[in-house]
């Protein structure tokens, strides 16, 4: 809820220091944690009256390498992927972004569904880690 921010502007700049692929999705997932920490600070200081984020968000990469669907592709897997996809989801299961590209071979609707199911499982794991780190801040 951007209206809840009032006149505040928050910039999140993510530099992934250590990764083996998936830096964009790591930036989204980690950037969300940074956003919540920043919002918690200004909320607790009374600078905003309502917490503007209502649910968790995370991202992950999936792809097909050597005809095998993979979750959270490493650099060498991403480079060799026949299909490369980034998925961003909310905790409720709604999609924020699905960006997928065939990079050598096309893929079927069944393969797409498998990739999306894998992505959802991976994102649920990321969101569980976020909740462990942040506590129940979104319950305020």
Cβ atoms of residues 86 and 69 within 8 Å: no
Residue 113 makes CB contacts below 8 A (sequence gap 6+) with none
How far is 126 from 57, CA to CA, in rounded Å? 9
Query: In this structure, what DSSP letter does residue 137 have?
Result: G
pLDDT at 140: 43
Cβ atoms of residues 62 and 119 within 8 Å: yes
CATH number at 22 reads 3.30.230.70
31-5-135 Cα angle (round to 5):
50
Domain count along the chain? 1
pLDDT at 102: 95
How far is 136 from 134, CA to CA, in rounded Å? 6
Say yes or no to pLDDT of 20 above 80: no
pLDDT tens digits, 86-124: 999 999 999 999 999 998 889 999 999 999 999 999 999
Residue 135 makes CB contacts below 8 A (sequence gap 6+) with none
How far is 58 from 31, CA to CA, in rounded Å? 9
Give the residue from 40, 60, 59, 56 showing the smallest Cα distance to 48.
40
Average pLDDT (53-67) is 96
User: Residue 139 — pLDDT band, cuts 50, 70, 90?
Assistant: low
Structural domain of residue 27, as residue ranges?
A: 2-139
């Amino acid at each position: 809820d951007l209206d809840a921010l009032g006149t505040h502007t928050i910039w999140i700049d993510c530099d992934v220091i250590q990764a083996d692929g998936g830096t964009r999705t790591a930036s989204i997932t980690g950037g969300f944690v940074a956003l919540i920490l920043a919002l918690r600070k200004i909320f607790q200081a009374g600078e905003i009256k309502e917490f503007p984020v209502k649910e968790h968000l995370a991202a992950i990469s999936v792809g097909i390498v050597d005809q095998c669907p993979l979750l959270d592709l490493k650099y060498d897997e991403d480079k060799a992927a026949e299909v490369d996809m980034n998925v961003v989801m909310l905790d409720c299961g709604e999609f924020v972004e699905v960006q997928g590209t065939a990079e050598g071979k096309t893929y079927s609707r069944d393969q797409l569904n498998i990739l999306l199911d894998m992505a959802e499982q991976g994102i649920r794991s990321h969101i569980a880690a976020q909740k462990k780190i942040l506590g129940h801040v979104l319950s305020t």
